[in-house]
């Protein structure tokens, strides 16, 4: 398959259940390289679970998920799927950065030490090289002056920007954002979204679960509305937001816009 036309994310009829609870019901979508796709929908619609399946933090029960042409979490042999070892799954995960609602920084480590740990332990970088890269990333998120601070000394927005820098430190080909601003005070949201705008402008492929419709309208290449574990509607953000075709999308957006 030509690398130039291989989608960065390809989901084919992905299903996920927790016991008797069906959370994803045949989700199919594509995200092209360099594209920003925003997932929206009510709480419990499966958006975050889908994101966690993309980097195999959750195992799919049916269907296939590919990132950059590689089957995620499994290998295929003679038409059957076999789950990868935790080591091989972890190797795949290195190429996929993820930023959560809550920042998950190590409280006992400084900002710069939070960022350099994975590149050194997992990526094999020297401390000097990892630190140089970390400082460049802190420049990118506007926090170079906080390199020696501890997470407790930072605002929530600053912690989230450090979390983004930490995810970028592994030089991922894909970034996943799971409602990255939902735990922040409103006045802190703008700085985080500005960093994400910069990533989009630099061509980073991003899959973003968000309630920030202004960001989705301005930055996303496609908007995907999910409900009850399924993709109900998708298209260009301005089209979906201004003229939703599905009754469920209309109802959801009428409460937000």
Q: How far is CA 73 from CA 44, 181, 225, in A?
A: 24, 28, 25
Q: What is the pLDDT of residue 26?
A: 96
Residues 228/204, Cβ–Cβ less than 8 Å = no
Provide the whole-model pTM.
0.93
Nearest to 170 by CA among 98, 119, 231: 119
Q: What pLDDT does residue 3 have?
A: 52
DSSP string, 162-229: HHHHHHHTT--SEEEEESTTTTS-HHHHHHHHHHHHHHHHTT-EEEEE---HHHHHHH-SEEEEEETT
CA 127 to chain centre: 27
What's the pLDDT score for residue 79?
82
pLDDT in tens, 113-156: 999 999 999 889 999 999 999 999 999 999 999 999 999 999 99
CB 249 within 8 A of CB 243: no
CA angle 4, 94, 120 (to 5 degrees): 130
**Cα–Cα dist 194/191, whole Å:** 5
What pLDDT, on a 0 to 100 scale, did the predictor assign at position 1? 47
Instruction: Please give the torsion angle defined by the CA atoms of residues 54, 236, 42 and 7, in that order, rounded to the nearest 10 degrees.
Output: -10
Nearest Cα to 210, choosing from 230, 228, 198, 192? 192
Positive or negative, the CA dihedral 79, 81, 87, 92 is positive
Sequence-ordered alpha helix ranges (H) in the chain: 47-54, 86-93, 111-121, 127-140, 156-168, 186-201, 213-219, 237-242, 247-254
Site of tokens 């890269």: 133
What is d(CA 255, CA 257) in angstroms, rounded to the nearest whole number? Answer: 6
Those residues whose C-beta lies under 8 Å from the C-beta of residue 245, and which sit 6 or more positions away, are 233
- pLDDT at position 37 is 97
> Which ranges of the chain have pLDDT less than 70?
1-4, 257
């Amino acid at each position: 398959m030509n690398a130039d036309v291989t989608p960065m994310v390809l989901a084919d009829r992905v299903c996920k259940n927790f016991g008797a609870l069906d959370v994803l019901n045949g989700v199919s979508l594509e995200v092209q390289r360099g594209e920003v796709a925003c997932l929206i929908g009510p709480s419990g619609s499966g958006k975050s679970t889908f994101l966690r399946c993309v980097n195999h933090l959750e195992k799919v029960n049916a269907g296939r998920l590919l990132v950059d042409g590689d089957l995620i979490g499994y290998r295929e042999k003679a038409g059957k799927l076999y789950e990868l070892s935790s080591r091989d799954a972890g190797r795949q995960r290195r190429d996929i950065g993820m930023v959560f609602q809550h920042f998950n920084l190590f409280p006992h480590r400084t900002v710069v030490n939070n960022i350099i740990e994975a590149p050194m332990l997992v990526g094999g970088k020297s401390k000097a090289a990892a630190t140089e890269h970390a400082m460049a990333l802190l420049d990118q998120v506007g926090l170079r002056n906080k390199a020696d601070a501890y997470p407790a000394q930072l605002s929530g927005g600053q912690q989230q920007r450090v979390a983004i820098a930490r995810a970028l430190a592994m030089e991922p080909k894909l970034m996943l954002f799971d409602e990255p601003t939902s735990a922040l005070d409103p006045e802190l949201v703008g700085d985080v979204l500005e960093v994400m705008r910069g990533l989009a402008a630099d061509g980073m492929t991003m899959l973003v679960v968000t309630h920030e419709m202004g960001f989705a309208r301005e930055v996303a290449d496609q908007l995907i509305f999910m409900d009850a574990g399924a993709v109900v509607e998708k298209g260009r953000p301005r089209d979906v937001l201004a003229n939703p075709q599905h009754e469920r999308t209309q109802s959801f957006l009428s409460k937000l816009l």
